[in-house]
Amino acid sequence: MKCDIVMYHYVRPIKDSPYPNIKGLELNGFERQLKYFLEEKTVVSTNDIVNAALGDNVLPSDSVWLTFDDGYKDHCEFVAPILEKYGVDASFFPVSDCYENNQLLDVNKIHYILATIENDALLLKLLFDEMLSEGLTKSDFDHFWTSINKSSRYDTEEVIFFKRMLQVDLPIDVRKRILTNIFENVVGRSEKEVSSELYMSKDDLISLHQRGFHIGSHTASHMWLNRLSTEDQEIEIKKSISALCDIRGDLDNWIMCYPYGGYNKETLSILEKTGCALALTTKVGSANFSTQNRYELSRFDTKDFPH
């Protein structure tokens, strides 16, 4: 029993926005894609998916389910009205620190930097100069360059390297200082200003929940769970589901969406203990409820379908 789970991030009139180089799906492209799904597939609800994962339901062979990561304002301003227009269900996965503490995620700082700087050589120079200011050397830079896997379906080697260094490979305190410096110098806006316009508020999420959409967890601070200790993973997950309970009023059949697709066996154990119904990865492919662990379901990107 399979289902094509589709992953979305930015969905907006991108070309008419202040950051037209943000990589995402144009709003008219989203509506075209939704019409394609309605014509060619069976769009199922979150309840259908949960019941299938728990063995209580059989899905149609052409099932598709829509999921939206990161809790962007796009999702309540643009996406939800279109879903309601066509009578389609979906699930949304916000990061609780974003709507509770007005925090701007590192991944979004990087997106705004990339949308402002289109020159890959300049991007690497900015990173190199900041690494030198932190006491690293050219040899360190060269070592990272040769050791990091820079293959990607969508980005150049330079962009992948920039992302990996500032999301994973540099020590967390170093990479956060570097990223903040580059963001402030390149984007020229405060993090809190960008955060307040980028993410849904708590009221936005409560409204989506009251309108019948599922709100799940994308953790508290969008960390790579598989790089945290078991104790820190548990803190991160429990903090996020406490915030989720404030939005929904309960935790019935709550769903986890892994940031960056990162998890390990400790993550799976924590999800089992906290009553998680199912969890979503970034592994590319159809979710197979017969062969996959319900906490390791695959997804497609929106770009994998006509739009």
pLDDT attached to residue 69: 98
pTM for the whole thing?
0.94
For 114-132, the pLDDT digits (tens) are 999 989 999 999 999 999 9
Domain extents in the chain? 2-95+199-304, 106-193
pLDDT attached to residue 302: 96
DSSP 8-state class, residue 22: S
Three-state DSSP class for 254?
Answer: coil
For 163-172, the pLDDT digits (tens) are 999 998 999 9
pLDDT attached to residue 58: 84
Name the architecture of domain 2-95+199-304. Alpha-Beta Barrel (3.20)
Separation CA 20–CA 123 (nearest Å): 18
Residue 60 has pLDDT above 80, yes or no: yes
Q: Residue 151: pLDDT band by 50, 70, 90 thresholds?
A: confident
For 85-113, the pLDDT digits (tens) are 999 999 999 999 999 999 999 999 999 99
The whole-number average pLDDT for the span 249-258 is 94
Residue 172 CA from chain centroid, whole number: 20
Q: CB-based contacts of 30: which residues, under 8 Å, 6+ apart?
A: 8, 11, 78, 79, 82, 302, 307
Q: Residue 150: pLDDT band by 50, 70, 90 thresholds?
A: confident
Question: What type of residue sits at position 241?
Answer: I
The whole-number average pLDDT for the span 226-246 is 96
Residue 19 CA from chain centroid, whole number: 19
pLDDT attached to residue 153: 83
Q: CB-based contacts of 249: which residues, under 8 Å, 6+ apart?
A: none
Task: Kindly report the number of other CB atoms within 10 A of residue 69's CB atom.
Answer: 25
Residue 57 has pLDDT above 80, yes or no: no
List the alpha helices (DSSP H) in the chain. Answer: 27-40, 46-53, 73-74, 80-86, 96-101, 106-116, 120-133, 138-147, 157-164, 172-186, 191-198, 202-210, 230-248, 265-273
